Amino acid sequence: MAHISAAERRPQLVQAAIDLMAREGVEAGSTRAIAAELGVAQATVHYVFGSKQDLYRAVIEHMTCELVERVRGAARPDDTFERSIRRMAGALWEGMREQPQRSLLHTELSTYALRSPELREVLRDFQRSMEETAASLLTETAARSGRTPAEDPLVIARFFLSGLDGIEQRYLLMSDGTDETDGTAGDDLNRLVTAVLRLAGVGEGEGD
């Protein structure tokens, strides 16, 4: 059997961990179970990742990169500021609707971290990274549109992400597979984006 380096195993193990925990929950994500998911020895997980916290950090970083790539891919150079923000928010929301179990995994990891000092620091880093990335995207979008946000982009980013977390958690709790739940969440997302635009100093429909 050909030897597979740690660098090659790393993304495989991260994906196996995401698939397993999204399907069965964070508590199911032992190193033994993750190894079994990929079909490798448990020692392989410990060799590639020094600790479970390191593995969880890699899982969170991977999920974050996926979100950022999705949002960046939604932006269009010729859009107005408002359209860009709405398009990017919509891309985030569609990602959640398409893979609700991944959103649930993020919620579970966040809750689990509150009782784990090591993992709590990992999630704090993730939160800061998401806020800084959102602020950077907001700044880039404003610059393309020839605008200067009326509020600090980091403040706007925190406000948006906090609101989105609330809408997402309510959707996961209330969703029963009907269009009614989707519609309610979609309306709430539109209201949140409108509030974000006003915080940025842009009135609804302005510039379209």
117 and 181 belong to one structural domain = yes
62 and 91 belong to one structural domain = yes
Residue 145 DSSP class: T
In the chain, the amino acid numbered 21 is: M
For residue 2, the domain's CATH number is: 1.10.10
| pLDDT for 207 | 47
* Residue 207: inside a domain: no
First CA to last CA across the chain, in angstroms?
Answer: 60
96 and 20 belong to one structural domain = no
76 and 137 belong to one structural domain = yes
For residue 95, the domain's CATH number is: 1.10.357.10
Quick one: how many helices (H) and strands (E) in the chain?
A: 9, 0
**Average pLDDT rounded to a whole number, residues 4-33:** 92
33 and 131 belong to one structural domain = no
Q: Which two tokens stand for residue 48?
A: 């590639």
92 and 171 belong to one structural domain = yes
Tokens 């959103």, residue? Answer: 103
Give the span between the Cα atoms of 77 and 145, in whole angstroms: 9
Give the span between the Cα atoms of 24 and 164, in whole angstroms: 24
| pLDDT for 129 | 84
96 and 179 belong to one structural domain = yes
For residue range 187-208, list pLDDT tens digits in order: 999 999 999 999 999 865 554 4
Give the span between the Cα atoms of 112 and 76, in whole angstroms: 37
* Residue 206: inside a domain: no
Choose the final residue of a domain: 9, 27, 50.
50
160 and 182 belong to one structural domain = yes
Question: Do residues 163 and 126 lie in contact, with contact meaning Cβ atoms separated by under 8 Å?
Answer: no
* Residue 208: inside a domain: no
For residue range 45-86, list pLDDT tens digits in order: 999 998 888 888 899 889 888 888 888 888 787 888 898 899
Helices 81-98, 179-199: inter-axial angle, 10-degree rounding: 150
Give the span between the Cα atoms of 97 and 81, in whole angstroms: 24
43 and 65 belong to one structural domain = no
* Residue 42: inside a domain: yes
For the chain, what is the domain count?
Answer: 2
Of the given ranges (1-5, 103-107, 109-113, 135-139), which has the lowest mean pLDDT? 1-5
21 and 113 belong to one structural domain = no
- Residue 13's domain comprises 1-50
**Average pLDDT rounded to a whole number, residues 149-170:** 93
Give the span between the Cα atoms of 144 and 78, in whole angstroms: 8
